[in-house]
Structures are given as C-alpha cells and as structure tokens.
Amino acid sequence: MKLVLEDNSIWEGRSFGASTGFEGEVVFNTGMTGYVETLTDPSYKGQILVCTYPLQGNYGVPEPEKRDGLPWPFESDRIQVSGLIVTRHSERHSHHAAAKTLGQWLGEQGVPAIEDIDTRALTRLLREKGTMRGKILPDSDSQNRATNLPTIHMPEVVDLVSCKTVQHYKRGDIRIALVDCGMKRNILRSLLKRGLSVTVVPWDYDLASLYDEVDGYFISNGPGDPKDADVLVRNLRELLKRQKPVFGICLGHQLLALAAGADTYKLPYGHRSQNQPVQDLLTRRCYITSQNHGYAVDNTSLPHDWDTWFVNVNDETNEGIRSVSGPFASVQFHPEASPGPTDTAYLFDEFVRMIARSRFVNVR
Amino acid sequence: MFGNYLPMKPKKVLILGSGALKIGEAGEFDYSGSQAIKALKEEGIQTVLINPNIATIQTSEGMADRIYFLPVTARFVEQVIIREQVDSIILGFGGQTALNCGLELEETGVLERLDVRVIGTQVEAIRNTEDRKLFVEKLNEIDVRTARAVACSSQEEAREAALNTIGLPVILRGAFSLGGKGSAIVSTREELEKVLPVAFSGSPQVLVEESLAGWKEIEYEVVRDGKGNCLTVCNMENIDPMGIHTGESIVVAPSQTLNNHEYHMLRELAIRTVRHLGIVGECNIQYALDPASDEYRVIEVNARLSRSSALASKATGYPLAYIAAKLALGYTLHELTNLITRRTSAFFEPALDYCVIKCPRWDLEKFTGAEVKIGPEMKSVGEVMSIGRSFTEALQKALRMVGLGVNGLEPEAFEFENLEYELQNPSPKRIFAVGKALESGMGVERIHELTGIDRWYLYEIDHMISLGRELKKHEEPDETLLRRLKKEGYSDLGIAKILGSTETDVRMLRHRWHIRPVLKQIDTLSAEFPAETNYLYLTYHGGETDVRSSWRKKVMVLGGGPYRIGSSVEFDWCCVNSVQAARELGYETVLVNCNPETVSTDTDTCDKLIFDEITFEAVSEIYDMEQPYGIVVSVGGQISNNLVLPLHQAGMRILGTSATDIDRAEDRHKFSSLLDELGIDQPKWTEMSRIEDLPKTIEELGGTPILVRPSYVLSGAAMTVAHDESHLVNFLNRAAEVSPDHPVVLTKFERNSKEIEIDAVADHGEVILWAISEHVENAGVHSGDATMVLPPQKLYLETVRRIKTIATKLAEKLQITGPFNMQFLAKSNSVKVIELNLRASRSFPFVSKVTGNNYIREATRRMLGVRDPLVNKALDLDYVGVKAAQFSFSRIKGADPTLGVEMASTGEVGCFGENFHEALLKSQLSTGFRYPRKGVLLSLGPVGDKYRFLEPARILAEMGLKLYATPGTADLMTEEGFDVIKVGKSRQPMEPMGLDIIDRGEVDFVVNISRDYDEEGRPDGYFIRRRAADLNIPLITNMQLAIAIVEAMSLYKEEDLPIRHWGDYVLSGQ
Ligand SMILES: Nc1ncnc2c1ncn2[C@@H]1O[C@H](COP(=O)(O)OP(=O)(O)O)[C@@H](O)[C@H]1O
Ligand SMILES: Nc1ncnc2c1ncn2[C@@H]1O[C@H](COP(=O)(O)OP(=O)(O)O)[C@@H](O)[C@H]1O
Ligand SMILES: [Mg+2]
Ligand SMILES: [Mg+2]
C-alpha cells in the first residue's frame, strides 16, 4: 500500500490493516502511547493519521471492560481514524489485557493501515507544507489515479459521529445535558464519576428546550470545522443569554467562542499530541495537556466580556476562554485525557462547582 | 526573576562534586555538575566547586570560578565555606556523596552557623526521601503505595521483620546508600544470616521489604519549580524486571509495554508525590508495576540528579541538570526556554520519535574471584546509549557499543553450559543467553518464565533472530532482505559473518542498492516544531536526512565510548578539550560518541553531536555525509585508536601521527624491532604459540616471574604475573580464551623496579610538551591503579634525562604529531620501555591540570597545523600533584581487593600540596581513606617487607593506635620490641581471629601485603582483605604506598591540611 499526498509525493509501505483505499486529510500525532484511545476518538473522523512514535501496537488491543458503565478504554464504539500510517507495528503484542493485535483490529473494522514509512520525514513535510489531503492506494494502482475512493464529506462530519437519540445516565441530583458532537466517552465517564446525571443529546438538539430540566450544559469535542455546525452555534447563543453553566471542550470550545461572537481559524497543521503545555493566565500555573484539533479560536477576536483563560505556552494560541458576565467557559485541550496526561481533570470539578454556585445564585 | 520562590539572588554558590568515579556514582555527575555551573554562571553568580576528581570537565579552566581538589567530606567542605564566604550551597549535582555530605552539614548545624542557605531541594525533602521510614509515612499521607516494609536499625529487628512481620522472600535494602549497596533478595533463613551483617555495614538503617522480583521496573524523571509547576520529562522501562538494579538492567525509553492508563497512572502518581515532597529541581521516581494488573509500588525517590537523569537528558534532549539549576534559583519552568527548539518553553514533556536503549558495561572478568551474577546491587562500571527507530535496531547497536567484541545480539556469541540456569540466574551475558535460547527454539513462553522479561521484547528479538536465520539460507541477500536486516540493526560485519564474506563486500552491496543510514534529529517534539538542534543519530529506518552538511571546514572527533575499567572520564575530558581547541580555530566540530554519562555528548560541546556507534561502519558513513577535513582518533582512548588502520585504508584522513606509524607502536613486533633499532632497552619478551614450548621459553627469559598477556588490549584483560611454571600453565588456558587467534606474549617481570610515565605532545617528531610522573608503587601495579606523583620526587637526574632522550628519539622516528604516553621501568640507572601509546592517556587531564599546560588543546592545535611558541611548565613546579586510584571492591562481591598488573580501579582523584605528603594525604582522604583512631591490623608479607615496615609501625604505635598482626608479622614485631596483639588468619585458627577483630570494629586501618597463595589459589590474606573491603575499612595492600601514607600521617594531622584552591598552586588554575 502507499500514501499519495496532494503534493504528489508517494510514500510506499506495507499494509497491515484493511486493504481498502481512502481519501482524506492527513494529520500527525506525536503521542507515544494510547493508540486504542486515539484511534477511537471521533475527532479523527475522516482523517488519515500519521504516528510519529515509530512503534505501535505493542500492548495489543483489549476486550472492552465496563468502567463507569461504559466500555473502556475505547473512546467510542469503533475506530474513527480513516487510515493509519506508522513506522512499525507489532505483529505480536504483549499485555495481560490484550485480546487482539492492532492489525487485526484495524482489519476487522475495515480501516487501512500502512507501516514501514519514514513517519518523521512525512511529519516534517506536513509541518512545512501544512496539513494536506492524501490517498491511501493499493500498490497495484501504479498510476496513482484511483478515483471514487471512499471519503467523508467534512461539512457533515459532526452529524455522522453524533448520536442520533437522547440517552440518559442517572447518577446524583445534579443533571446536565452533554451535547455529543463526536464525544469521547471519557468526558461522559468523567462527569458520571463526579456523580452528575447526564443526558446525552445529539449535536443539533434544541438545547433551550431542556433549560428547566438541567443544571448545566457540556459541549463535547468533535471533528471538523466549527463553522460547519452553525445549528449548534445558534443554540448556544440562546444559552448564553441565560445563566446556567455551559462548558465546552475542543470543538465545544470553538463553538462556544463562535456563539460568543469570536472567530475561529484553521491552524497550519494543528495540535495533535499529549504534551501540549498550557498556562492558566490567572494563576500562572502550567499544565501538560492532551490535544487534538486543527482549528483554533482567534484570541484577538474575543468580545470584551470574554477573557482568555488558557494559552498554549509553545505558540501562544488560545487554549481556553471564560465569560465575565456568566458561568460560561471552555477549553481547547482535553481535560478528560484518555489518551494523555490527567493534569487538568480538575476542570470537571470546576464545572461541578460552577453548577453549585449557579444553583445558589439562581435560587437567590 | 528571583523572588518567585527565592527571595534573594545568591552571590556565591558552593557546588559539591561526587569525587572519584566509582561503581554507582560515575561520569553522570560530571555532566550534571558541569551543566549546573554553566547555568549559574550565566546568571552572573560566582561558583565554587569542591571535587577531587581531576579528570572531570567540571574541574577545568573556564568552568567553576574556584576549584578545590579536596575530599567531599563535611570537614573540608566546612573549611571551604569559611574561606570562600559562600552564601548558598547546592546539593543535588554531586550524587549521593554530595547529598550525604549536605545532610551531615545540616544536621551538625554547620550550615546554620555559617549562614549558608541550601538552594534547590531543601534538606528536609532530601531527608524525607532518604530515610525510608519517613518516606513511607510521607507517601501514605497522599495514598501512594510503597512496598510493605519495616525499617530496622539492628540485626535483631531485621531478623524479626524478615521472618515474621513481612515473611520470606524479602529484600534487604540500605537507607543512605547508593547503587543498591548492601541490597539482597533473601529467600531462606541461612541466606538471611549471611546477609544481615553486610547490610548493616553499609548503612545504619536497613529496610526489610516484601520482594517484588519479577514486576516491571519503571522510572520517571520529574522536574518541579518552586511555584509547584511539575512535569515528567521521560519515563523508562527496565527490560530486566524488578530484582535487577536499574543500573544493571538494559533500559528502554520511552516505556514500550505500558498502555495509556498505566503510563499516565504512574505519571500522575509521580507528580503527586513530587509535589508533596516539595522537590525543587529534578528528581527520579522508581516504580514496580505488576505485569498482571494495575498494582504498583513506589520503590524510591532520588531527590537529586542521578544516572537515570543523565540518561533521560540524553534520551530526550531535555537538559535536566541545567534546568534543575535554574529552578533552584527561583525560575519557573515556563520562563525558561527549550534549548533544543529555542522557540518553545521548558515547560513541556518531550515526545520521542525513536527508541532509546541503555545497556550497562561490566568488567567483572577483571576481578579474580568475583561473583559473575547481577542482581539488586549495582556492579556495572559504565553504560552506553543507543538510538534507533526500531527496538532491535537500537538493541543491536547498544550491544555493539558496549565493546564485548560482538556484532550485535549474535546468538552464538558466547557459550552457555546450562542455558536455563543462565536465564534464571542472570549474569551480564543474559541477553545473549536469551538470543541463544530463541535461536535454539526454546520459545518465548519458557524464556519469559525463566527471565521475567516481558514477552514483547522477546518477540522483537525473536523476529530479529529469525531474519538472521533467513539470511543463512542465502549466499547473497537480495535488496529487500538486506534492507530489512539493516532495519533490524544488523551491522555490515555481522551480516558478513553470517554469509562468510567480508565487511567490505557487504558494504559495497549496500551502497550499490543505496541502502544508507540517514541522520535524524533529536528535537524533543517529534518534528512538531522546527528545531535548530545539532543532536543527531543514525538510522536505517529512514528515507530522508534531517540536516544538510554545511560548507564549513570540519573536524570529526571520535569519543571514548562506554566508561570501563581502564578508560573513563579522563578520555571524555580529552574529547571535550580537543573539540574546544578545534572550535577555537574556527573549525566546525563533529563528535561521535555513545556514552550518556559524558560532557562530550552535551549538545553545546560541539557543533554537531552524532550519538552513535564508534565503529568503522558508522564512522565511514558519517565521513561520507560530512566530508570533514580529517578525523581525530587519538583523544578517545583505545576504541577509536583501534579504528585507525581501517579508516586510513578506506581513504579517510587521520589527523596527527600517521596510521602506519601508530600501527608501528601498537604492533608488539614492529615496536620491539623499532626499539632494538634505536638501541632502546626493553624487558625481555617472547611470543609463544604452543604450550609445549614453555620450559624453553622460561629459560630464554631468564626464569620466573613472568608477565603473561595478549596483545592489543588496553587495560590488561587476562594479564597476570606468574611466579612459577605451574601457575603459568594454569593461567594460560584462561588467556587463550581471550584471543584464540593470537599467541601469548611472555615478558620477563622486573622485580623491584620503579615505574615512570611520560605524557607528551609532539609536532612532526619534535617533543614540545612533556611531563614525567613517578609511581609510588613499584612496577607490577598497573599504571591506572598506581599513585602518581608529579613532579617526581625520588628520581635520579640521569633517569629523567634518559627517559627524555628515549621519548625524543621515538617521537622523531615515528614522526609523532599529537599526544603520546610512555611507561618505563627504572632500576638504578637503567631504563626500560614498557609501552608507547600513540594517543592521549589516562593521565592527560592530571598532567595538564598540574602543570598548567593544556596538553590536549596543544596536541589538537598541532594536529591542525597551528604552532605557537610555548613554555613547558612541567620543568619547574614548586608544588606537588598526586593522583590516586579509587577502587570499588566493596561492590564486587568475592573479588580480591589487591593490586596487580590488571587494572582494577574505577576512578581517580588528583590533589595538590606544598609537598608530596600533603598532596598524598588529600588524595587518599578523597578516595575513602580515614585517619585511624583505634587500631591497625598488619599482615606484612615477605620478611624483607616486614623489616621495611618497622619504622612506620613505630609511628602508628606513637599515634596511640593499638597494633594487631597476623602470626608471622606479630612474631617478628614482638621480637623487635613492639607491643602487638597476635591474631589468627583463616589457616591458623587462634584467639582472637583477625576477622573477628575487624567485625568487632577494633581496627580502622588494615595493611595487608601478601604474595603467597592458599589452597584455592587465592592469595593469602584474602579473607581479611575482603572483610575490610566489605566493611569499608581503609585497606592498603602495597608496601611503598603504606609507608608513604604512614609517614605522611606523622607529618600532618587531618585538621592541619591546608585548604587551597587550584589557582593557589597553578597560575592558570581557578
Ligand atoms: N521490594 C523489592 N523486591 C525486589 N526487588 C527490589 C525491591 N526493591 C528494590 N528492588 C531492586 O533493587 C534495586 C535497587 O533498589 P533501589 O531502592 O532503587 O536502590 P538504589 O538507591 O540503589 O537505586 C531496584 O532497581 C530493584 O531492581
Ligand atoms: N616487564 C615488566 N616488569 C614489571 N612490571 C611490568 C612489566 N611490564 C608491565 N609491567 C606492569 O604492568 C602494568 C601494565 O602493563 P602495560 O603493558 O602498561 O599494560 P596496559 O596496556 O594495560 O597499560 C604496568 O603498568 C606495570 O606496572
Ligand atoms: Mg534505584
Ligand atoms: Mg600501561
């Protein structure tokens, strides 16, 4: 199999997943562990993922195990990445929890994968030229002309990964709505673990209609350009007129920013890694975070009643915003981790506190 | 900047070094100390350094502002503090030595009294990590689990804990010690009884702990600033599971078998723990992780820079020591920049896009009687680090780098009598046993059962070995197979060996198909950000090189490889100085080395650092890419020196003395005829290829004793002195194993000769710098173990003149350009040549620092054709430098702590004095000697020696010391009117026994000189020497040295030794 990029560069390697072709955006991730979590992250929908860490699949793929009522450590019910490029995968894995190899899993789920590629050189190319589109093709296609390759129409990608029906998870007496834009399960787990009762709703659900039933809203991560999800932006705008807490992660963060009147833009090659340093501008504390996004909020476009909360220590891009006038906040990174460091898990507690405070205020 | 956590900027900071290299505390602390000094100097802070290790880079010009070559003990440190008026002290950069010394200074109130502030991690935090009991309490407070254990301060307590509270098996571990000293896993009552006294000898507190042998052993390197920002720079997984010290394990970074949950669970625990302990700077946390569940235990936290942190720095490119020093000054992490990318901040966790392997280097074969097993105690003397883009590529590289003469993980490299036993009872060769077992079809499951090594590693190795088998089926590999072999880390030579062809053939084939390695950057962020880094490695897993070669004129310098007995930090000093000299002249410098404990592999030492093998294959590929003006091979020691001929023959340019001339000195025959031709005397020698010729040969040489050795080795592996024919026969079998293709060389051993060395630099045959040093010990003690004195104190002028003449003649004849070293035997006025090394030697840093002429800088300039007038300062020194060896016998169980022609020391110190005695005492105190206060145990060997020691014995008696002696010595001394207590030795039971009075702590100095052998072929007195080493009692085994020390003690009380810094003696010193 081979990968042919927009710039006509050809990267030949060996197939170790499904043997189907695919066309999509090619992105890279620098995480050194956590491929099970990464591959099932719906934010990757429609993308071909390049792993910079050369050895993948070492500990195999486990059987799902129920944790907080959800299959673990899978972040959704299938592999979301549409193609995988690595230097080398383990044909034989080793872990007490492993049930199959990475290759088997990819094969079962029909996801093409190529190994024996200089992923560092590929990454450097993507970094220099920016994210490109690419095609995964069989070796037999000597002209690299394949058309009609499976692909995903990105403007509708959120609709593709969002749940179609409302689901209820009952825990304590605080109830929240979690908007699924391609949600990672660990967001839900993190909320449930803190005793919140969660109603997961599809991305285009009329959020205001839930206003009397819930104590707050949580907007999940997801794939694609936030500007394509204007239904949700409109719905959020409604919420911002009121006083119940809203918290967003990743795509949820970008959508909240758009709703607030700020702007988003596409990064040249995105942040996809588990080692992104961010700083809380108020406390000056720094955290290492897990990230996966290609779009970012434009710091300069924030309306006057919104503050930049976190910034990226490496490139100073926006990593979080907070409203001055209401209990609304969001972060670009993933406090739910999985994969990645758990430094910012405290933000879920922060959300719970926001709810507690707003309940108190609202009662008064 | 200052004030965040530090209220006031320090003005003058005292840094404690770690002293001589020893097992468990080696070159890594030169690296971390050097970085700390740089970091402090950048801030305009004055630095004062105490470190007697004269071969280090940190004790060089341009480093610390003031350098004291003094023992790192509370007494000396206190006096330096007073003299220098320092306001702050930093404890985390000199290993356990510095940490313990700091604790003592604090506990005795010295720091408070002298108003010295500890910066960086505070003493309380250090104590909480060092005292196991406090440690466990601290971790309990935050729900972090530690192994079930009982801290015991007596043998009785420990026995009770092991048998009842915890239950066998247990592991005994000493608090306040390093390198797992005194640690042992105990499964039976008998073992327990044996181990208890030893455990308590090294540490006042011993921990009896549940055994976690077989669990995964994982480490994290953590940094934290004074504001509480905290992150983990790197994690590492030991391939050898718990039960084998991390210093003894092959280690991989990052971890390979941990999933996301495990990785981040341990990471979170690390941060929680480090925050709670209040570390400021860097520390290391070690875990045991159950391979079958999420269970974990914290093993320990080292609240200081460590061997692992040096490794982590090199593995990731994150300069831990430098950052730790800045954090000690009150900076926060995000205020500091990532020195690799130069555009991102130091608050980040490196992402690696390669696999790193550390492999230890042992030298256990050098010690007769040593137990050749590895376990929870550290015994290795050095290490290498390899980088690859597959596990096997890195592993095979690492095994080549270690210098065992293998081409990678060759299954047939070593013979194993009982493979299963070998797998279960690990020795340094276990990884080869794994290879052999896989090759012979034992199967991964069984090997996993026996070794506890995770199956993933075994699968990878299995895959690699099966590819080797595949190759055997071919006469010549096809392109695909060759490519795959290279990606699995097979070297050209290894492939040639399997095919029965030559390295050149394979190389040509490879080049024909354009299978060439590429240079990849270590950029800390997996290419996510552009990085200007000059830190590179070679891999066959790539289609593209990251950096283009520049058009500047380049010099390539080959490094010293792993530290080992016979070659360690002194060659690193040489490399660094050579690179600096070339840089100064405007050359771009390319350095190749593979040792993570070095300063030469610090990214700002040279213009391009290639962290890779020093083999013909790697060097020639790099040469092709970089097209340097020439290669410096003469500063890295023997490994690079051995490459001279092949590199030259392949058309590469060797700087300095020509390859053919180097060969004329290295080749024994050529060198010998050269000496004859020049009329220079040498000890009689001959070569023997058949054992039947022995009687005739002995006669030719004029009888025993005879020195036996193979050629082309550095520090005398398998070299010995045979005192009679049967001994010789016995020994020859062992020597033959060392180099089967080479005949044995037999040399007449010259008794009662003085040994003298010359270190010199020549230019086109003209000697321009030279220094003659004299050994305190007579010839027969390896020059690396001997005590060296510069300038010589007892040489006849005529001897000096002859040595100079010989050196001049040889330099002229061999047209030497660059460094060289010679050793001589001198008796009366006759001078014989032992050897000529056409390269830098171990003593170059010593002579450079004592004389004030930098020999390496000068040699490098000459090699590059620059001639400036200079004065040889060695000729009139009005002070004395003494270099003394550091031994690590206490770590090498079973080894006989005695001196011979095989080098045994692991490190050295160099100290200054007004006179010989002052310098000698300082040097001895720096290597663990302590003034005796109670009693001395004497065993004086041959009668002549006994008489010679009568005067020193009188001095000892006058010092108020009780004298004990073994029977022969005691009889003679009684006759001479001494008040001496006769004690028994193993062969002569009587009351009291020598061993008992040692155990009872009645003697604190042992002089034990012996030539006889017991029934087991062990020299007489073995048990006494061994016990002294085990119990850390100062032990002297050489008559000349013993006399000198006692004389010196009679002239100086310890408190009278003057406190002077380097610059007080040497004008150019600091
Ligand atoms: N409870 C234990 N069971 C088995 N092995 C252990 C245990 N504790 C330590 N070890 C082994 O002993 C080695 C040395 O112990 P450690 O506490 O790290 O001492 P050091 O200070 O010398 O590094 C470890 O690397 C580990 O392999
Ligand atoms: N002929 C000899 N007589 C006495 N001692 C010798 C003789 N040759 C060597 N030695 C001793 O053995 C030591 C090691 O020998 P040398 O040839 O220098 O080996 P290496 O190459 O390991 O340095 C010398 O330092 C010296 O003390
Ligand atoms: Mg340890
Ligand atoms: Mg020698």
pLDDT digits over B73-117, tens only?
999 999 999 999 999 999 999 999 999 999 999 999 999 999 999
Mean pLDDT throughout A279-290?
95
CA distance B368 to B320: 39
Vertex B1012: Cα angle to B1007 and B1018 (nearest 5): 90
Distance between terminal CA atoms of chain B?
29
- CB contact under 8 Å between A118 and B543, yes or no, is yes
Q: Which tokens go with B778? A: 């007579």
The vertex-B22 CA angle with B35 and B132, nearest 5°, equals: 85
Lowest mean pLDDT among A200-214, B292-306, B326-340, B1047-1061: B326-340
Ligand nearest to the CA of B452: 1
**Contact criterion met (CB < 8 Å) for B349 and A37:** no
Interface check A94 vs B, CB under 8 A: yes
What letter represents residue B581's amino acid?
A
Q: Which residue of B has its CA nearest to A35?
A: B260
Residue A316, chain B, CB below 8 Å: the answer is: no
Which amino acid would we find at residue B515?
I
CB proximity B529 to A under 8 Å? yes
Q: Sorting pLDDT into bands at 50, 70 and 90, what band is B595? A: very high
- pLDDT of B1017: 55
> Count of CB contacts below 8 A, A vs B?
164
Chain A residues in contact with B353 (beta carbon < 8 A): 30, 52-54, 119-120, 123
Res B202: pLDDT: 67
Nearest to B664 by CA among B836, B862, B841, B859: B836
Q: Å from A12 to nearest chain B CA? A: 11
Interface subset of A 19-48, CB within 8 angstroms of B:
28, 30-34, 36-37
Q: How far is the CA of B826 from the centre of ligand 4 (A)?
A: 15
Residue B886: closest CA among B570, B560, B577: B570
Contact B598, B572 (CB under 8 A): yes
Residue of A nearest to B455 (CA): A94
Structure tokens belonging to residue B986: 């193993």
How far is the alpha carbon of B483 from chain A, nearest alpha carbon, in Å?
11
Q: Is B809 on the interface with A (CB under 8 A)?
A: no
Whether the per-residue pLDDT at B578 is higher than 90: the answer is: yes
pLDDT tens-digit profile of A320-332?
A: 999 999 999 999 9
Query: Which residue type sits at B32?
Result: S
- For chain B, the average pLDDT equals 92
Rounded percentage of chain B residues whose pLDDT exceeds 90: 80
The answer, yes or no, to whether the previous bond of A335 is cis (omega within 30 of 0) is no
Distance CA(B469)–CA(B476), nearest Å, equals 13
Q: Which residue has the higher pLDDT, A255 or B153?
A: A255
Q: A313 and B345: CB-CB below 8 Å?
A: yes
Confidence of residue B876 (pLDDT cuts 50, 70, 90): confident
pLDDT tens-digit profile of B606-622? 999 999 999 999 999 99
% of chain B exceeding 70 in pLDDT: 96
Considering CB atoms only, which of B229, B349, B541 is closest to A118? B541
Within 10 A of B685 (CB to CB), how many other CB atoms are there? 16
* Contact state of A97 with B259 under an 8 Å Cβ cutoff: yes
Q: Identify the burial level of B3 via C-beta atoms within 10 angstroms of its C-beta, where 0-12 means exposed, 13-18 middle and 19 or more buried.
A: exposed
Looking at the predicted structure, is the pLDDT value of residue A141 above 90? no
- Which B residues 235-274 touch A at CB under 8 Å? 254-261, 263-264, 267-268, 271
Residues pairing with A168 in the sheet = A199
Q: What is the pLDDT of residue A29?
A: 96
pLDDT band for position B739 (50/70/90)?
A: very low
Radius of gyration of chain B (CA): 28
- B333 contact A CB<8A: yes
pLDDT of B71 above 90: yes
Ligand 2 atom having least distance to the Cα of B779: 27
Q: How far apart are CA B46 and CA B62, in angstroms?
A: 12
Does A273 touch chain B if contact means CB atoms closer than 8 Å?
A: yes
| Residue B210 amino acid letter | E
Residue B848 has pLDDT above 50, yes or no: yes
Does the CB of B599 have a partner CB in chain A at under 8 Å? no
Task: Say yes or no for a CB contact (<8 Å) between A94 and B456.
Answer: yes
Q: What is the pLDDT of residues A52-90, one digit of tens each?
A: 999 999 999 999 999 888 999 999 999 999 999 999 999
Q: Which residues of A are catalytic?
A: 250, 334, 336
Task: Compute the radius of gyration of chain A from its Cα atoms.
Answer: 20
> Would you place residue B180 in the very low, low, confident or very high pLDDT band (cuts 50, 70, 90)?
low
pLDDT at B714: 34
Beta-bridged to residue A321, according to DSSP, are A308, A330
Rounded Cα–Cα distance for residues B772 and B790 (Å): 7
Q: Which site among A2, A56, A58 would you substitute to test the B interface, given the most B Cβ atoms closer than 10 Å to its Cβ?
A: A58
In the prediction, which pLDDT does B490 show? 98
How does pLDDT run across B367-422, given as a tens digit for each residue?
878 889 999 999 999 999 999 999 999 999 999 999 999 999 999 999 999 999 99
CB B546 within 8 A of CB B537: no
User: pLDDT tens for residues B223-276?
Assistant: 999 999 999 999 999 999 999 999 999 999 999 999 999 999 999 999 999 999
- Give the pLDDT confidence score for residue B1011 in this predicted structure: 65
* ipTM for this model: 0.96
A285 contacts on B by Cβ (under 8 Å): 227-229
CB-based contact, A139 to chain B, within 8 Å = no
Q: Say if CB B33 and CB B51 are below 8 A apart.
A: yes
Nearest Cα to Cα of residue B260 among A334, A195, A112: A334
Of B334, B455, B525, which is closest to A30 when you measure between CB atoms? B525
Given a cut of 90, is residue B716 above it in pLDDT?
no
Closest CA to B895 of B449, B491, B368: B368
Within 8 A of A338 by CB-CB distance, chain B residues are 260
- Tell me how far apart the alpha carbons of residues B383 and B1029 are, in angstroms, rounded to a whole number: 25
Closest ligand 2 atom to B837 CA = 21
User: Among A220-234, B767-781, B994-1008, whose mean pLDDT is lowest?
Assistant: B994-1008
Asked if pLDDT for residue A97 goes beyond 60, the answer is yes
Q: Which amino acid is at B963?
A: L
Do the chains contact at B527 and A123, CB–CB below 8 Å? Answer: yes
Q: Which of B316, B526, B533, B537 to probe by mutation at the A interface, max A CB count within 10 Å?
A: B526
